[in-house]
């Protein structure tokens, strides 16, 4: 996990420990990372409501909470993370899931085109804007 996320989770844990102390004998320890102020599991509707509120606050188009999994998988594709690592991160046992969840974006297409161009053409000069010269086969 990114260091920033670890720090946020550690802060959340401290806040939850304070809630545990405040709830005293009302606390139900279910081992939940996210729980009510008395330790009970959150109502699934709460996730939905908070997700929708987050999208509005961020100025992002409406979407399902599940769409975040597609976004996460696509971000890993953009970052060039190896498929095996993506499978482990996403909890997939079948590589076919990558085809379902990872979406080829314009960024990925441009990156591939640039890399292919770098293999095929040699630049004529330092950033002169020209197309360059086709490399000779070795």
Residue 121 backbone phi and psi in degrees, to 5: -120, 140
pLDDT of residue 9: 95
Q: With a cut of 50, list the residues of the chain below it in pLDDT.
A: none
- Using DSSP's 3-state secondary structure scheme, residue 13 falls into helix
- Using DSSP's 3-state secondary structure scheme, residue 122 falls into strand
Q: Which residues contact 39 (CB under 8 A, 6 or more apart)?
A: 19, 20, 23, 27, 28, 29, 30, 32
pLDDT of residue 124: 67
pLDDT of residue 36: 93
pLDDT in tens, 3-15: 899 999 999 999 9
pLDDT in tens, 72-90: 999 998 888 999 999 999 9
pLDDT of residue 49: 93
């Amino acid at each position: 996990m990114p260091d920033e996320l670890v720090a946020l989770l550690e802060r959340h844990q401290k806040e939850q420990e304070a809630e545990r102390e405040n709830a005293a004998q009302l606390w139900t320890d279910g081992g939940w990372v996210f729980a009510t102020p008395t330790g009970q599991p959150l109502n699934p509707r709460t996730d939905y409501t908070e997700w929708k509120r987050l999208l509005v606050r961020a100025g992002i188009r409406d979407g399902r909470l599940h769409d975040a999994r597609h976004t996460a998988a696509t971000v890993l594709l953009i970052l060039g993370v190896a498929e095996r690592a993506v499978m482990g991160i996403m909890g997939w046992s079948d590589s076919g899931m990558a085809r379902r969840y990872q979406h080829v974006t314009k960024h990925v297409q441009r990156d591939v085109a640039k890399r292919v161009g770098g293999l095929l053409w040699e630049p004529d000069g330092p950033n002169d804007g020209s197309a360059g010269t086709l490399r000779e086969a070795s």
